[in-house]
């Protein structure tokens, strides 16, 4: 061991504003990897169906929504078959809602670890955001199946998919940063979360088309970052024109939320341990 | 040792905790209902107040008082530690030991001050942190290792050694939930013990595992010490501190009160009566411990002359005195004392049996009961006294105060002591002055001829 070259760590009271220590995060990448691995492995432990749930979960939702909104309410989907229309939205939506819920509770569920050992606290809310991606990619098989069944070719739009996937990850990460830091102060977050999730489901164009909205509300509507992700995913997978007018305002909001969440999280980080 | 490079330098480290205001007690249903209605507002203020530090950050840690809402866990603690030193940290519960360790391991930041650490710190505070029941032994080694700050490569390198140390080779791919608790503790400790940090923090984890495993752990710690690494050792086990440490510091109420050779610091710690007093008085009857029949008003340790004594000579009698009010007449009461040594061992109990009041129902009034421990019975050291008052008809304890007072028995030699002129070690939890008789029963001449 090179004793002379030992790194010097300085411990001092935190400043009012602390930037994210990217170098430190990189040093702890192996930990992030194993925590993600733990989450993935433990999630379906002692279940009979295992990863089949990653498909079943969206599948059941799709079935319900198709019956209610496709057959009974007959929602206008710009001529796209309802199953197709809702599948490409439900799969990213399932990911986002689950990642958001898990991430916002991450500090509370891991408070035992929080009080015993130090590693960059950002890892807590980021872990579920990454781990839930496994379910997402499995559920993409479902999307693929539906596309094949309806013989839809996404075309060149598919190249945009990685961009929308990144954006899809950024949203629960941003919400997770805000809410996990808030949840450790106020445990109310846990009880409010189901309502937030339901509200997001109905305010995003998951079950209906964004074009059903009156023109003059479009800008306000698209400030919801979920709108852009869902519409973008739909366009990328179904090969319809990408509606940038919905996408850009939401992307800006998502970036702001993410940056703000990081600042807020860092600010709260210094007192987490003392209040759990 | 002084020429060795610095490992840890702490300057003016202070830490204040907000504990939040206590919940108010309410005395009527209406008040309780009103309280419930207004509680969201109050809760919000309370939880938000936990995050207010501005005023405290400006306060002087030397003098700022701990209020009902805040606790200064550390006040201006400073020390320097050189590489290869094994530092014992001693102090009572609440003296600030755990807070200091939490700051050194970066779990919580200090409110004031600065610490410079040269090298990697890892601590045995966190043995088993992040262990997951559903994961296999192998997976847990990797997860736990990286949680403690190793990279995957480092775990790869140490993996076989860790597994061998823990003795779980056969169960590597079994989920930890199928392990015995001993096995999982061993595996957890093995990971922590193989970190090879420059600075190791040990917090009394040597209490885990069976005797053979403990021996293994002590040996590991000694190896680490010999290899020139720095160790901070927090313990209530004074012999271990004296044996393993090269230096010790004593914390009391958040202040560093002594820094020096372990032997001196340990004896200072043992002889100061920090914490438990020799007398406790409850002047306000409303706050006095007790039930319907009787209330405790005072408990004290006294000498023969009646003076309160926090320290007594080993030859002298020690009086344990209870003062209590009997508020409901007609009960036969039995005062009791329990005497513990500093390891928490109950040496003996004593119940009032030998006087007129022992069998008689008592009228109302103030009573004082004193039990005398004869001189030359206890050994030298700290002793802690619990007291109780039993009403005999109902067998209900009117009060029971645990380790309410303490006193020090100081060692002495010479006339009237069991020690006599012997200056060496004298073992045992009691040291009665027994009468010895030795007589010569045969002369040596006769012995040989026999």
Q: What is the pLDDT along chain B (450 residues), one digit of tens a residue?
A: 457 889 999 999 999 887 665 455 555 667 767 777 777 777 777 666 666 666 666 677 777 776 667 788 999 999 999 988 999 998 876 788 889 998 998 889 998 899 999 988 887 766 677 788 889 999 999 999 998 888 999 999 999 999 998 888 889 999 988 988 778 888 888 888 787 788 888 876 444 445 566 566 667 777 777 777 888 988 766 667 777 889 999 998 899 999 999 888 887 876 665 567 889 999 888 888 898 899 999 999 999 999 998 888 889 999 999 999 999 998 999 999 999 887 767 899 999 988 888 888 999 999 999 999 999 999 988 898 999 999 888 788 899 988 889 898 887 777 888 888 777 678 888 999 999 999 988 877 666 665
* Beta strand pairing call for B121-123 and B279-281: unpaired
Dihedral sign for Cα atoms in the order A263, A268, A270, A272: negative
The residue with tokens 């040597």 is B206
Chain B residues in contact with A113 (beta carbon < 8 A)? 129-130, 147
Q: Could B109 and A13 be called an inter-chain contact, meaning their C-beta atoms sit closer than 8 Å? A: yes
pLDDT at B91: 82
Question: Secondary structure of chain A in the HEC alphabet?
Answer: CCCCCCCEEEECCCCCCCCCCHHHHHHCHHHHHHHHHHHHHHHCCCCCCCCHHHHHHHHHHHHHHHHHHHHHCCCCCCCCCHHHHHHHHHHHHHHHHHHHHHHHHHHHHCHHHHCCCCCCCCHHHHHHHHHHHHHHHHHHHHHHHHHHHCCCCCHHHHHHHHHHHHHHHHHHHHHHHHHHHHHHHCCHHHHHHHHHHHHHHHHCCCCCCHHHCCHHHHHHHHCCHHHHHHHHHHHHHHCCCCCHHHHHHHHHHHHHHHHHHHHHHHHHHHHHHHHC
pLDDT at A199: 92
Helices (H) and strands (E) in chain B, counts: 10, 18
* Beta strand pairing call for B311-313 and B396-410: parallel
**Ordered DSSP codes for B179-225:** S-HHHHHHHHHHHHHT---SEEEEESGGGSS-HHHHHHHHHHHHHHH
Element (H, E) at B387: strand B381-391
pLDDT at B263: 85
C-alpha B255/C-alpha B96 separation (Å) is: 8
Distance of CA A41 to the CA centre of its chain: 19
Rg of chain B's alpha carbons, rounded to an integer?
A: 28
Chain A residues in contact with B118 (beta carbon < 8 A)? 6-8
CA distances to B122, B176, B192, B418 from B231, in Å: 10, 30, 14, 40
Q: Minimal Cα distance from A124: which residue of B?
A: B147
Question: Chain B contact for A115, CB < 8 A?
Answer: yes
Mutation choice for B interface testing from A3, A11, A182 by most B CBs within 10 A: A11
CA distance A97 to chain B (A): 25
Report the residue from B115, B129, B142 with minimal CB separation from A11. Answer: B115
N- to C-terminal Cα distance for chain A? 37
Q: Could B130 and A117 be called an inter-chain contact, meaning their C-beta atoms sit closer than 8 Å? A: yes
Does residue B305 contact residue B403 with C-beta atoms inside 8 Å?
Answer: no
Dihedral sign for Cα atoms in the order B209, B214, B220, B226: positive
CA distances to A147, B22, B345 from B28, in Å: 67, 18, 44
N- to C-terminal Cα distance for chain B? 64
Q: Let me know the angle formed at the C-alpha of A180 by A178 and A185, rounded to the nearest 5 degrees.
A: 100
CA distance B302 to chain A (A): 42
Q: Minimal Cα distance from B148: which residue of A?
A: A117
Question: Chain B contact for A25, CB < 8 A?
Answer: no
**Ordered DSSP codes for B302-316:** E-TTS-B-SEEETTS
Enter the pTM of the model: 0.72
C-alpha B446/C-alpha B207 separation (Å) is: 57
Which residues 6+ apart lie within 8 Å of A116 measured at CB? B107, B125, B126, B129
Burial of A160 (0-12, 13-18, 19+ CB in 10 A): middle
C-alpha B51/C-alpha A185 separation (Å) is: 9
SS3 content of chain B, % helix, strand, coil (to 5): 30, 35, 40
C-alpha B308/C-alpha A55 separation (Å) is: 77
Does residue A167 contact residue A251 with C-beta atoms inside 8 Å?
Answer: yes
Nearest to A225 by CA among A252, A191, A261: A252
Report the residue from A8, A35, A273 with minimal CB separation from B117. Answer: A8
C-alpha B185/C-alpha B206 separation (Å) is: 11
Report the residue from A3, A116, A275 with minimal CB separation from B126. Answer: A116
Which 45-84 residues of chain A touch chain B by CB within 8 A?
45-46
Q: Could B18 and A118 be called an inter-chain contact, meaning their C-beta atoms sit closer than 8 Å? A: no
Which residues 6+ apart lie within 8 Å of B25 measured at CB? none
| Buried b / exposed e along B166-204 (16+ C-beta atoms within 10 A) | bebeebbeebbeebeeebbbbbbbbbbbbbebbbbbbbe
Residue B94 CB neighbour total at 10 angstroms: 15
Q: Could A6 and B198 be called an inter-chain contact, meaning their C-beta atoms sit closer than 8 Å? A: yes
Give the ipTM of the model, two decimals please. 0.85
The residue with tokens 């192998």 is B138
C-alpha A148/C-alpha A135 separation (Å) is: 20
pLDDT at A5: 47
Does residue B134 contact residue B98 with C-beta atoms inside 8 Å?
Answer: no
Does residue A222 contact residue A246 with C-beta atoms inside 8 Å?
Answer: yes
3-state secondary structure of B244: helix
C-alpha A78/C-alpha A243 separation (Å) is: 13
C-alpha B366/C-alpha B363 separation (Å) is: 10
Chain A residues in contact with B159 (beta carbon < 8 A)? none
Q: Could B135 and A38 be called an inter-chain contact, meaning their C-beta atoms sit closer than 8 Å? A: yes
Chain B residues in contact with A31 (beta carbon < 8 A)? 146-147
3-state secondary structure of B171: helix
Nearest to A206 by CA among A90, A109, A101, A34: A90
C-alpha B112/C-alpha B105 separation (Å) is: 16
Nearest to B144 by CA among B156, B160, B159, B127: B127
pLDDT at B207: 47
Question: Chain B contact for A34, CB < 8 A?
Answer: yes
Q: Could B105 and A117 be called an inter-chain contact, meaning their C-beta atoms sit closer than 8 Å? A: yes
Q: Could A33 and B152 be called an inter-chain contact, meaning their C-beta atoms sit closer than 8 Å? A: yes
Please give chain A's pLDDT, 276 residues, in tens. Answer: 334 445 788 888 887 777 788 888 898 999 999 999 999 988 888 888 888 899 999 999 999 999 998 889 888 888 889 999 999 999 999 999 999 999 999 999 988 888 888 899 999 999 999 999 999 999 999 999 999 999 988 888 899 999 999 999 999 999 999 999 999 888 888 899 999 999 999 999 999 988 888 888 888 998 999 999 999 999 999 988 888 888 899 999 999 999 999 999 998 887 788 776
- Joined together, the tokens standing for residue B66 give 């701990």
C-alpha B126/C-alpha B115 separation (Å) is: 21
Q: Could A185 and B50 be called an inter-chain contact, meaning their C-beta atoms sit closer than 8 Å? A: yes
Q: Which residues pair with B446 in a beta bridge?
A: none
């Amino acid at each position: 061991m090179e004793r002379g070259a030992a790194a010097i760590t300085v411990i001092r009271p935190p400043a009012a504003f602390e930037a994210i220590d990217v170098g430190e995060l990189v040093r702890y990448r192996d930990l992030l990897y194993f925590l993600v691995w733990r989450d993935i492995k433990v999630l379906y432990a002692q279940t009979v169906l295992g990863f089949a749930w990653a498909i079943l979960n969206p599948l059941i939702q799709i079935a319900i929504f198709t019956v209610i909104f496709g057959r009974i309410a007959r929602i206008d989907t710009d001529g796209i078959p309802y199953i197709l229309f809702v599948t490409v939205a439900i799969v990213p939506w399932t990911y986002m809602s689950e990642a958001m819920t898990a991430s916002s509770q991450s500090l509370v569920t891991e408070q035992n670890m929080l009080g015993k050992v130090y590693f960059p606290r950002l890892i807590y809310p980021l872990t579920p955001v990454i781990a839930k991606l496994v379910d997402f990619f499995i559920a993409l098989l479902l999307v693929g199946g539906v596309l094949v069944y309806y013989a839809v070719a996404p075309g060149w739009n598919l190249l945009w998919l990685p961009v929308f996937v990144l954006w899809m990850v950024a949203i629960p990460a941003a919400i997770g940063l805000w809410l996990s830091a808030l949840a450790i102060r106020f445990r109310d977050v846990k009880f409010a979360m189901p309502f937030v999730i339901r509200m997001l489901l109905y305010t995003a164009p998951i079950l209906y088309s964004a074009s059903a909205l009156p023109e003059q509300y479009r800008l306000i509507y698209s400030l919801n970052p979920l709108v852009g992700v869902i519409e973008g995913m739909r366009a990328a997978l179904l090969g319809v024109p990408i509606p940038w007018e919905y996408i850009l305002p939401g992307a800006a909001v998502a970036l702001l939320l993410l940056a703000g969440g990081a600042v807020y999280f860092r600010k709260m980080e210094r007192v987490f341990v003392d209040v759990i | 040792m002084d020429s060795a490079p610095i490992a840890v330098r702490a300057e003016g480290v202070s830490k204040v905790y907000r504990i939040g205001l206590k919940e108010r007690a309410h005395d009527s249903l209406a008040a309780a209902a009103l309280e419930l209605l207004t509680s969201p507002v109050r809760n919000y203020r309370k939880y938000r107040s936990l995050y207010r530090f501005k005023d405290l950050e400006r306060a002087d840690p030397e003098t700022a008082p701990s209020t009902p809402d805040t606790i200064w866990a550390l006040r201006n603690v400073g020390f320097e530690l050189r590489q290869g030193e094994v530092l014992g940290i001693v102090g009572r519960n609440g003296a600030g030991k755990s807070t200091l360790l939490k700051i050194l391991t970066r779990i919580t930041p200090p409110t004031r001050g600065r610490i410079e650490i040269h090298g990697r710190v890892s601590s045995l505070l966190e043995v088993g942190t992040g262990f997951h029941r559903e994961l296999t032994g192998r997976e847990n080694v990797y997860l736990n290792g990286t949680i403690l700050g190793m990279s995957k490569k480092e775990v790869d390198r140490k993996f076989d050694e860790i597994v061998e140390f823990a003795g779980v080779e056969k169960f590597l791919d079994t989920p930890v939930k199928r392990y015995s608790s001993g096995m999982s503790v061993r595996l957890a400790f093995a990971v922590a013990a193989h970190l090879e940090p420059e600075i190791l923090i040990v917090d009394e984890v040597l209490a885990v595992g069976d005797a053979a495993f403990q021996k293994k752990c002590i040996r590991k710690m000694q190896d680490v010490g010999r290899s020139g690494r720095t160790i901070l050792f927090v313990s209530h086990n004074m012999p271990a501190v004296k044996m393993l440490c090269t230096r010790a510091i004593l914390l009391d109420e958040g202040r560093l009160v002594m820094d020096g050779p372990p032997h001196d610091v340990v004896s200072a710690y043992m002889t100061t009566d920090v914490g438990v007093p020799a007398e406790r008085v409850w002047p306000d009857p409303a706050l006095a411990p007790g039930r319907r029949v009787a209330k405790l008003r005072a408990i004290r340790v006294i000498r023969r002359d009646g003076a309160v004594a926090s320290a007594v000579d080993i030859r002298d009698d020690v009086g344990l005195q209870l003062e209590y009010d009997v508020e409901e007449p007609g009960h036969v009461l039995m005062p009791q004392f329990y005497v513990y040594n500093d390891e928490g061992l109950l040496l003996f109990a004593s119940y009032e049996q030998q006087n007129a009041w022992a069998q008689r129902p008592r009228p109302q009034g103030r009573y004082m009961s004193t039990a005398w421990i004869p001189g030359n019975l206890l050994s030298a050291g700290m002793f802690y006294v619990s007291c109780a008052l039993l009403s005999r008809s109902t067998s209900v304890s009117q009060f029971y105060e645990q380790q309410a007072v303490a006193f020090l028995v100081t060692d002495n030699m010479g006339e009237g002591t069991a020690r006599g002129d012997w200056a060496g070690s004298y073992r045992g939890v009691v040291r009665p002055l027994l009468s010895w008789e030795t007589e010569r029963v045969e002369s040596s001449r006769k012995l040989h001829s026999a």
